[in-house]
Chains A and B, each alone.
Chain A
Amino acid sequence: MNNPHHLNPTSLKSRFTTRFLRALTKIRAQKPISSSSPTEIFRRYRRIKVAADKSMAYSVRSRRIWSRAMLWKLRSRSYRRQDPCSGRRSGKTNQAIMKKSSNGNITRRREDGVGFVEEADELRQLVPGGETMNLCNLLDETAHYIKCLTTQVQVMKKIADFYSF
């Protein structure tokens, strides 16, 4: 799997890299870069950050609870910008995510851990879709989410270093 001579084209890393580079090109083409007002710089920063999350979420697709939650969040953001009356659609999708993830354990605050309910709740705030997950799913999703985050950071660092010279 870790063949040093070929970048596996189907690996998460390469899927993310391709998407993210494409998004960067689009962002660059959108507005003239000469403008350096603080608002412009902030807008560019926001677009890049969203592009990074979007690229990662689309690379994982709907295989994970966290990626589904992130995709839903990203889509409802753009829906809201175009059409302010789409609230109902978002609500329906949220229920769908909850159904898929709850495993029949509906009560979130059950005592299924030994004294780390607070830490688990804190974690739920950090992992997309965490609020709907039982402890088992939360731990499993977190592990995958961390792997994806580290890939994201690694690739973004390489791109930034590459263009720093």
Chain B
Amino acid sequence: MSGRRSGSGVSSISDDQITHLVSKLQQLIPELCARRSHKASASKVLQETCDYIRNLHKEVEDLSDRLSQLLASIDTDNDQAAIVRSLLM
């Protein structure tokens, strides 16, 4: 498959490069990892990527909310070592 696209003049990005990057992305999305080795279409991968990022943003917001309620009990100077250790598991 040719890497050149007509009409756009300079096309320094090849199809192979795009395909490679898209498949790299596919491996990061849990929704798409469940499928075997069947390659999802680039359109599907990008769509799922958008949904996944939105989910992650929402999770960060929910966790910020949760932390704001727990803030009174957070004394990180003494606990920092313990937290860091528990993060290893």
Interface residues of A (CB under 8 A from B): 4, 7, 13-14, 17-18, 21-22, 24-25, 27-28, 33, 41, 44-45, 48-49, 52-53, 103-105, 107, 110-116, 119-120, 122-123, 126-127, 134-136, 139-140, 142-143, 145-147, 149-150, 152-153, 155-160, 162-164
Q: Which residues of A contact B56 (CB under 8 A)?
A: 146, 149-150, 152-153
Closest to A144 in B: B28
- Docked Cα-Cα span, A162 to B79, in Å, equals 10
Q: Which residues of A contact B8 (CB under 8 A)?
A: 107, 110-112
Interface residues of B (CB under 8 A from A): 5, 7-8, 10-13, 15, 17-18, 21-22, 24-25, 28-29, 42-43, 46-47, 49-50, 52-54, 56-57, 59-61, 63-77, 79-80, 82-88
- Docked Cα-Cα span, A125 to B88, in Å, equals 34
> Are A49 and B61 CB-contacts (below 8 A) given A135-B18, A163-B74?
yes
Is there contact, CB below 8 Å, between A156 and B74? no
> Are A33 and B72 CB-contacts (below 8 A) given A123-B46, A123-B49?
yes
Is there contact, CB below 8 Å, between B46 and A21? no
Shortest C-beta distance, B30 to chain A (Å), equals: 10
Q: Which residues of A contact B59 (CB under 8 A)?
A: 153
Shortest C-beta distance, A40 to chain B (Å), equals: 9
- Docked Cα-Cα span, A7 to B80, in Å, equals 13
- Docked Cα-Cα span, A7 to B89, in Å, equals 10
Is there contact, CB below 8 Å, between A122 and B46? yes
Closest to A21 in B: B76
Is there contact, CB below 8 Å, between B43 and A7? no
> Are A152 and B13 CB-contacts (below 8 A) given A48-B68, A147-B28?
no
- Nearest 5 CB-CB pairs, A to B? A119-B46, A139-B21, A49-B64, A156-B63, A33-B72
Is there contact, CB below 8 Å, between A45 and B13? no
- Docked Cα-Cα span, A151 to B64, in Å, equals 15
- Docked Cα-Cα span, A80 to B80, in Å, equals 33
> Are A158 and B49 CB-contacts (below 8 A) given A119-B43, A135-B13?
no
